Amino acid sequence: MLLSKRSNGFIGNTEAGARQFRPPCARQQVVRSLLLLPSVFIVACGPPAGPAGPVRSCEQVIRFAPSESLEAVSIRGEWNAFAAEPMTKRPDGTWEWRKTLEPRVSGYGYRFDLGNDQLILDPAQGFTRWVGATEHSRLFVPSCASPLLEVTAFTVTAEGALSVALAASMGSTKAALAAPVLVLDGQAQSITFDRNTGVTSFTTAGLSQGKHTVKVTLEDSNGGRAEPVLLPFWVEREPFKWEEAILYFVFTDRFRDGDPGNNRPATGVTAQANYQGGDFKGVTRAIEEGYFDQLGVRALWLSPPDANPDGAFDGSYGQKYTGYHGYWPSQPRTVQPRFGTLDDLRALTRAAHARGIRVLTDLVLNHVHEQHPYVAQHRDDGWFNIGNGCVCGTNGCGWEEKPLVCAFTNYLPDYNWRNTAMGDQFAADMLWWLEEADLDGFRLDAVKHLDHIGGRTINQHLAKLSAFTGTDYYLVGETFTGSDGRSLIRAYVGPQELDGQFDFPLYWPVVQAFARGDSLVPVDEAVRANESYYTPETINSPFLGNHDVARFISIAANQIENDANGQSWGPNKPPATIDSDEPFQRLKWAFAFILTQQGVPLIYYGDEVGLPGAGDPDNRRFMKWQGLTARESSLLDFMRKVGTARRQSRALRFGARDTLLIERDLYVYQRSTPEDGAIVAINRGGDRTVTLAPRRALSRLPVTLKDAVSGAMVTIPASGQLTIPARASLVLVKP
C-alpha cells in the first residue's frame, strides 16, 4: 500500500498483510511538541522515568533538515520578540533548537533564519500563525502539568486482528495516573496497563470488514486529562486509495425523503428555493438498497449538514431563499433538523462504511450566517472581515478583486482566517463533525475566497489522525475557474493543503465537445495539459455537473439560455423530461469519458437519469426515483455498467493514460497498470475500423477484451485493427 501523504509514521503492508504504525522516534524522524486545540497529539521520544513511572518533558524541540549544506541557522520566535537564536548542528546534518516555554493557547510563531535575509517557514509542518502582517510557522506549547498519552504501535490485518500499544506519562506535577480507558466502536475494552512503565496494550481479532474507531483517554489523580487519542481505521481486504473512487454528490434536501415527519418548508417561498424534504434517512435507504454499489460509487459527498436559519432571505433575481442547501451555518456542532438527527447521520455513515463507501460532507470555511452565535460573540474580536470587507460583486469589490475579504452577501459575515483564535475554533468544530459523524474527508467550499492557512490547518489536523493508522482523508476543493484556471487550482493543492480540486479547466471543453457537439480534440488537449501541469500526487475530480452550473443534459438539448440562473426564475425552464434521443446519447459519451479518467470522477445526483435543469436553483430539482422513461432507464443502465467496470478494473482505477487516436468525432485512449489494461473508444460518427498501437500492458497483440457496455468479447488482432460501431462507446477491459 502506498503511503498516504498525511500518514507520518505509517509504514504500509507487511508480508502478512497487516498495516502497522511505527512511532517517529523509531525512525529518528524530525519531532516537535504540538498542541492541537482541542486535540493534537504531542510527539515525544522516551519521557524520563520518575519514581512512580515516566514523567513528560516540558522542553520544546524543533529540528530543521535543510535541502542544502548551511554554515549557520537561527530561529526567530515570538517567545522573544523574534530575536535570532542560534540552532545547534547535529551529526546527521540537521539543526536543533531546545527551550522550555510558558504554555500559550495561541502558540508561538517562528521562522528559520538562513542568513542573507532568508527567513523561511518550517517545511516539516504546515501549521502556521499570522503575527501582524507576517505568516509564521506555529509552535504549540501545551501545559506539561497534564498527563500525556502517545501511540507507540498500531497494527491491523485484513482479517480484522487489531493490536494497539500506547505510552502514558505523568504530568510535571507527578500526579498518579489512572488506567487509560480504551473504547472500541463505542464499547469500553479490557486493556493491559503497567503503571510503572506507562505501557498500555490492547489486542483483539475478528473485527468486521468496514470502518472502526478506537478512542483512548487518560486522567491523573489531580483531575488532569491527557489529550484523547483517536484512531479511526479500516478493515479491508484490499487497501483503499482515493484514486479508485467514483464520488457521488448527494444534495441532501433534494435526493430522497426518508422521513416525512421532518419536512418543514418555510412559508412564502417558492418550492425551488425552499426545503423539499430530502434527508439522511433517505440517503441511508439508498445505500442499503445498493443504489450506489450498482453505480460503482465508492464515496458520497453530502451537502453541508449544519443547521441553517429558519425563514427566508433575500437572494438573486429579487427572490427569497431558504437555507435548504446548507451553506448558511447558524449554529456550531448542530445538525440541520430537517435533514434528521446526529444519530441519523451516524446511521448513514455506518451503512456506507459497511459497504466500503467513504462519506464526505461539505465544509463551509468562508462564512457563517449572521444569526450564528460566533458573530455576536466575536464581532469585535477580529474573527470576521467586518468593516474591512465588502459584498462580493459590488463596485470596487469584485469576486476576483478582493476574494479573501469580500462577503457573499450582507447576512453572511466573512471569516478572517488570519485570526488564530477563529482558526482554532473552526478546527475544533471540524474535528467534532469528523469524530461524531465518523466522516472520511471534506469538500472545501469556495477555496479561492480562503486564505491558504485555512486549507493547511484542516490538512494538518487530519494528518495527526492519519499518522497513527494510515487512514487517508480526502480534501477536495471547489475553485470556480474558467478553462485557463489551472494555476489557481494548483495553488491550493499540495502535501500540506488540498489533495485536489474539482477540474473546472477540463469541465469547459468537455461541455463544448460532448454537450454542444464541438470537436473532441480540445478535450484531449485539456487532459494532456493536466498531465503535464499537476504533480503526480494531485487527485482532482473531473465532472459533468454540479449545483452551480446548468444540467448537462439540458445544455445538450439546447435548452439553456445565456443567463442560466435567471432562466431558473423565468418561463423557459427546461421541461421535466427530455423527449429526444440525442441529449441522452451525448450524456452517455460524456460519462464514458468522465468515469474512465484519472482522479475521482464526480456524479452529480440525478445526472445518471438525465435530470434536467437550468442554473441555480433549477439545477437542484428533486431526484427522480419512479416512472423513469425508456431513455432515462437506458442511461442509468449505461452508467451502472461503466461504473462497475471502473470498480472492477485496476487499469481504469489506477492506470497511466495514453491517447491512441484523436479526431473531431473519434477518441480512443488507454489506461494501463503493469498487469492490467483497458481501452476506451468514443465514436460520434459512422462505423469505423481503425488501426491502433496499444501500449504498456496491452502492447502484445492479439489481445481479447470485454466491452463493459455491450458485454461482447472484442479481439484486437496482431494488425491492431479495431472496429468501433457508429455512435458508440466502448469500454474494453480484461475479462
Note if the pTM is more than 0.85. yes
The dihedral of CA 250, 253, 255, 256: what is its sign? positive
Gap between the Cα atoms of 262 and 255, Å rounded: 15
Gap between the Cα atoms of 235 and 242, Å rounded: 16
Of the candidates 251, 223, 170, 74, the residue with the CA atom closest to the CA atom of residue 622 = 251
| Alpha-carbon radius of gyration of the chain | 27
Gap between the Cα atoms of 118 and 113, Å rounded: 6
Q: Looking at residue 46, what is its pLDDT?
A: 44
Gap between the Cα atoms of 596 and 657, Å rounded: 10
Q: Looking at residue 3, what is its pLDDT?
A: 36
Q: Looking at residue 630, what is its pLDDT?
A: 98
Burial of 189 (0-12, 13-18, 19+ CB in 10 A): middle
Domains of the chain, with CATH numbers? 366-416 (no CATH), 548-648 (no CATH), 651-733 (2.60.40.1180)
Measured in whole angstroms, how far is the alpha carbon of residue 406 from the centre of its chain? 25
Residue that has been written with the C-alpha cell 484486437 in this structure: 716
Q: Looking at residue 4, what is its pLDDT?
A: 41
Average pLDDT for runs of 10 along the chain of length 735? 41 43 40 30 42 88 94 97 97 96 97 95 96 97 96 97 98 96 97 95 97 98 96 96 97 98 96 98 98 98 98 96 98 98 98 98 97 97 89 91 93 97 98 98 96 97 93 97 97 97 98 98 98 97 98 98 97 96 98 98 98 98 98 98 98 98 98 97 98 96 98 98 98 97
Q: What grid cell was written down for 455?
A: 486549507
Of the candidates 76, 111, 108, the residue with the CA atom closest to the CA atom of residue 420 = 108
Gap between the Cα atoms of 667 and 679, Å rounded: 10
Q: How far apart are the first and last CA of the chain?
A: 25
Q: Looking at residue 388, what is its pLDDT?
A: 73
Cβ pair 617, 546 in contact under 8 A? no
Q: Looking at residue 53, what is its pLDDT?
A: 85
Gap between the Cα atoms of 20 and 389, Å rounded: 48
Cis peptide upstream of residue 617 (ω within 30 degrees of 0): yes
Q: Looking at residue 21, what is its pLDDT?
A: 53
Gap between the Cα atoms of 622 and 187, Å rounded: 39
Q: Are strands 10-13 and 18-21 parallel, antiparallel or unpaired?
A: antiparallel
Q: What are phi and psi of 422, to 5 degrees?
A: -65, -45
The dihedral of CA 121, 125, 126, 131: what is its sign? negative
Q: Looking at residue 497, what is its pLDDT?
A: 97
Gap between the Cα atoms of 133 and 138, Å rounded: 15
Q: Are strands 677-683 and 53-54 parallel, antiparallel or unpaired?
A: unpaired
Residue that has been written with the C-alpha cell 503511503 in this structure: 3
Q: Looking at residue 36, what is its pLDDT?
A: 32
For 417-441, give the secondary structure using H, E and C.
CCCHHHHHHHHHHHHHHHHHCCCCE
For the sheet with 247-250, list strands across it: 500-501, 474-477, 441-444, 358-363, 299-302, 247-250, 602-604
**E strand or H helix at 658, and its extent?**
strand 656-662
Q: What are phi and psi of 535, to 5 degrees?
A: -70, 155
Of the candidates 474, 469, 426, 465, the residue with the CA atom closest to the CA atom of residue 41 = 465
SS3 675: coil
